[in-house]
Amino acid sequence: MAGPLLETKLRVPGGRRRLVARPRLDECLARGTESALTLVSAPAGFGKTTLLTEWLATAPADGRSVAWLSLDPRDNDPAVFWTYLVAALQAVEPAVGAGARSLLQSPQSPAEAILSSLLNDLSGVSNDVVLVLDDYHVIEAPDVQEGMAFLLDHLPPQFHLVIATRADPSLPLARLRARGELVEVRVADLRFTADEAAAYLSGVMGLDLTAEDVEALEGRTEGWIAALQLAALSLQGREDVAGFIAGFAGDDRYIVDYLVEEVLQRQPESVRSFLLQTSVLGRLSGGLCDAVTGQNGGKAMLEALDRANLFLVPLDDRRQWYRYHHLFADVLRARLLNEQPERVRDLHLRASVWCERNGARSEAIEHALDGGDFERAAALVELAIPALRRARQEATLRRWLEALPDELFRSRPVLTIGYVGSLMSRGELEGVEERLEDAERWLDTAEQVPGSAGGMVVEDPAGYRALPSSIAMYRAGRALMLGDVCGTMTHARRALDLAAADDHLARGAPAALLGLAYWTGGHLDTARQWYADAMSSLATAGYHSDVLGGSLVLADIAIAQGRLREAMSTYERGLQRAEQAEPPLRGAADMHVGISQLLCERDDLDGALRHLLTSRELGEHAGLPQNRYRWRVAMARIRAAEGDLPAAVGLLDEAERLYVGDFSPEVRPVAASRARLWIVQGRWAEALAWARERGLTVDDELGYLHEFEHVTLARALVARYAADRADSSLTEATQLLERLLLAADQGGRIGSVIDVLVVKSLAQQLQGDLPAALASLRRALTLAEPEDYVRTFVDEGPPMAALLRAVGKQGNSGSFIRRLLAAFGPARGSAPVHRDLIDPLSARELDVLRLLGTDLDGPGIARELVVSLNTVRTHTKNIYAKLGVTNRRSAVRRGDELDLTPRRPAVHQR
């Protein structure tokens, strides 16, 4: 959080005195602790909060922990919402949520990752945990709603959620209802019965009413608790009770307006004035009320209102903080606007000043905005920007900035740069350059800026001193997002020149952008140097999570350079850094995925699979945003190596849907990897169609960004020649490969050089030029052997095996070639030939057949085998055809008759 947590939001509100017992509702709530969700949904004034607080105070605990969170509109910022939710749970279960809190401090942590960590912790709690979210209707942010839906879908059995709201939330209520996981308390349940109304009016409010009066009052209010309370307050001291009861009618809102007015008129002027003036406050304390009203005695007045049951809700056990009942507060504020509109601004500003002085900067900003003092709000927001950035409260910052008039930014360059950062954090570039120019024109206004000069206003002198470097850095980032590599380099170098020597954060960001720009241009040595320097600066600045994310970039660059061993060391150091941090850093899962990819290239498929499973067991919360798609790409490579090409293609389909881009260049697009698998499957026509859609041709000007795609195009052309002997295809492929080889050689991109040489040797083999094919392959082997390349050769199948045997006969790299030839072996994934089957089942089809004999449905089988549902359906269709059956039961029976069992057990992902 950018400021301290408001502890009053985490406390169960203080119980009211002399309440009516409602055992029927207590029993309903008790049943809710056996379900995932209890929903208490009714309009304002039906006693939702009171019901829950009394139930928690009187119901037997039975060893359960009860966490409470009172929500307000500021909780629509996902970072704020999840921070408070985790804090509420930690208040009763301190061991829960350490990992989630760590993720909340990391940039770009999705809600699912935070909640996965939290749910894992809750799963380990032995006792039941109840979390109450009060006033949930204020939550409108789609991001928060989606996170809550995820939470509900994955609740451990000992965790129970209670939501009190004025309107049904956007959550999967129908699904929960169908599962029997939803207990509902609604208006019809909350209305006072005639007996409860009588008990309240006579026992609680002390009114001497006849049975007819009670019945008439209950009928007029229809059991609406707020209306009953207001009516009871108005009835105190009246003689004509029956006449009063007959005097009000209409819908709920008119009743409340009428009764509140009645209550207010019966209060002493001092009380009425206090109520109206303090209605602008979301929370009330004695000191804050004194500041707003300009009088003393606020604490005593609050205690008196509490004793009088005048719609005041205690927020802590010591009764230092309160709030008005929401319905009562709404009417008070409407009355204030009607009677004293000129005072509203002043009341908010007094509240803002008090909140600022007492460390509640967020509330100070809100009151300044509500009071229309935008100058004051702008000053407070500018000072809050660094803390908000560190706390990842981008949504709150964005909301405050957008509430300010645009003309304020023209004289506040530091605030303007804050707005630029807010825009670019969400990938928005519109208006960025104009705002950068607005900020830039103030740079020469003054050497030192204590506050303002020449019309410029500066609240944060340190932010102003960093302005030149910040402007250049954001321009570099904007240029990179637009694909302007030269512009990125120009602005990033200027940012470095302008940054102070000891400002490691200001130096790390532009150095990283420079590294990415050089990488995009294919200058890998320079890219690696700049990016390594950037990570060193960020480490010195204490941004360890960013450094861990940078390990992925450094490893990717090393792989492109053909330095697989160096990439492995980078991943291993990153994993050690992630695991030794306290709390563990996000990114450990990514390191396991990277190690898996390199082990797969070495043909250590078992080791590669172990690391992928470890990555999944850590959970998505342990990975960076790119991890979900990178995990599937890595698993696809393993499945392809095993011979299960349909599963590999399905995984790449998922990876493409899950792809998350960042500032790093997309040099190995998922679609290009899928096109390569199509070629292996004989679907070269589809691969060529993909190339046409991408606008790729053999005559393109070559660049590193599309190098992997152009090599893929060459592969497709070679495959077409092998299939239909179209001479032009092989000529075009050979010419393209020659150009690609020259470019990769000049750029020091050894990974691409090996890739091109492998394809080139196969093309030359097809041409019948065996000496040239062997020469190309020998060079590829020379480059590959020191770095443990294996699958790059083995994945090419029998034509490559023949070439390797020919090279081996010439006495070149004997041990390495023997290792490669041994890796071919029997085709991975092939099934034993069964005498009763003309077309035997593959190993993966045998896995699916075994799972068809379990209780798992299609999605369950897909999760078990880590493939898509479509892939399972394809395998199932093949199984039916090969076994000559038409349904699942027959397939299982036929498999039993043939004694079909998979060679290896299916991979368990749970």
Q: What phi, psi does 33 have (nearest 5°)?
A: -70, -5
DSSP 459: S
Higher pLDDT, 29 or 837: 29
DSSP 3-state assignment of 324?
Answer: strand
Q: How confident is the model at residue 224 (pLDDT cuts 50, 70, 90)?
A: confident
Average pLDDT, the chain: 85
Query: What is the rounded distance in angstroms from the CA atom of residue 566 to the CA atom of residue 74?
Result: 47
DSSP 3-state assignment of 313?
Answer: strand
Mean of the pLDDT values across residues 721-729?
A: 86
Query: What is the rounded distance in angstroms from the CA atom of residue 886 to the CA atom of residue 879?
Result: 9
Q: What phi, psi does 745 have (nearest 5°)?
A: -60, -50
pLDDT higher than threshold 80 for residue 356: yes
148, 367, 879 from 81: Cα distances, Å: 10, 20, 49
pLDDT at 90: 93
DSSP 3-state assignment of 182?
Answer: strand
Mean of the pLDDT values across residues 221-249?
A: 71
Largest CA distance in the chain: 118
Say which residue the tokens 């890998």 belong to: 524
Mean of the pLDDT values across residues 527-548?
A: 89
Contact in structure between 807 and 607 (CB atoms under 8 Å): no
Query: What is the rounded distance in angstroms from the CA atom of residue 649 to the CA atom of residue 659?
Result: 15
Query: What is the rounded distance in angstroms from the CA atom of residue 819 to the CA atom of residue 176?
Result: 56
pLDDT higher than threshold 70 for residue 906: no
pLDDT higher than threshold 70 for residue 501: yes
DSSP 450: S
DSSP 92: H
Buried b / exposed e over 385-401, threshold 16 CB at 10 Å, is: beebbebbbbbbbbbbb
pLDDT digits (tens, 9 = 90+) for 358-411: 989 999 999 999 999 999 999 999 999 888 876 667 788 889 999 999 889 988
pLDDT digits (tens, 9 = 90+) for 841-889: 777 888 888 888 888 888 888 888 877 787 888 888 888 877 777 788 8
pLDDT digits (tens, 9 = 90+) for 412-451: 999 999 999 888 877 788 888 999 988 888 886 544 454 5
Query: What is the rounded distance in angstroms from the CA atom of residue 27 to the CA atom of residue 797?
Result: 69
pLDDT at 216: 78
Of 604, 601, 665, give the one whose Cα is nearest residue 633. Answer: 601
Q: What phi, psi does 478 have (nearest 5°)?
A: -65, -45
Mean pLDDT lowest among 174-178, 227-231, 751-755: 227-231
Higher pLDDT, 229 or 38: 38
Give residue 379's identity as a one-letter amino acid code.
Answer: A
pLDDT at 901: 52
Mean of the pLDDT values across residues 513-517?
A: 95
pLDDT at 297: 92
Query: Which residues are paired to 322 by β-bridges?
Result: 284, 314
pLDDT higher than threshold 90 for residue 591: yes
pLDDT at 700: 95
Higher pLDDT, 260 or 852: 852
Helix H or strand E segment including 666 = none
Query: What is the rounded distance in angstroms from the CA atom of residue 511 to the CA atom of residue 531?
Result: 6
pLDDT at 448: 47
Of how many residues is the chain composed?
910
DSSP 3-state assignment of 784?
Answer: helix
pLDDT at 55: 86
pLDDT higher than threshold 60 for residue 250: no
Say which residue the tokens 């790409």 belong to: 633
Query: What is the rounded distance in angstroms from the CA atom of residue 681 to the CA atom of residue 719?
Result: 10
First-residue to last-residue Cα distance in the chain: 34
Mean pLDDT lowest among 206-215, 543-552, 569-578: 206-215
The most confident of 310-314, 520-524, 708-712, by mean pLDDT: 708-712
Would you list the DSSP string of 400-439? HHHHS-HHHHTT-HHHHHHHHHHHHTTT--TTHHHHHHHH
pLDDT at 717: 96
Query: What is the rounded distance in angstroms from the CA atom of residue 443 to the CA atom of residue 464?
Result: 8
Give the rounded percent of residues in the chain with a pLDDT score beyond 90: 46
Mean pLDDT lowest among 7-11, 669-673, 708-712: 7-11
DSSP 3-state assignment of 284?
Answer: strand
Mean of the pLDDT values across residues 655-684?
A: 91
DSSP 704: G
Of 463, 524, 466, 512, give the one whose Cα is nearest residue 488. Answer: 512
pLDDT at 60: 64
pLDDT at 15: 64
pLDDT digits (tens, 9 = 90+) for 327-339: 678 778 888 998 9
Higher pLDDT, 813 or 647: 647
pLDDT at 893: 79
Would you list the DSSP string of 26-90? HHHHHHHTTSSEEEEE--TTS-HHHHHHHHHHHS--TT-EEEEEE--GGGGSHHHHHHHHHHHHH
282, 708, 750 from 9: Cα distances, Å: 11, 54, 58
Query: What is the rounded distance in angstroms from the CA atom of residue 868 to the CA atom of residue 149?
Result: 23
DSSP 3-state assignment of 133?
Answer: strand
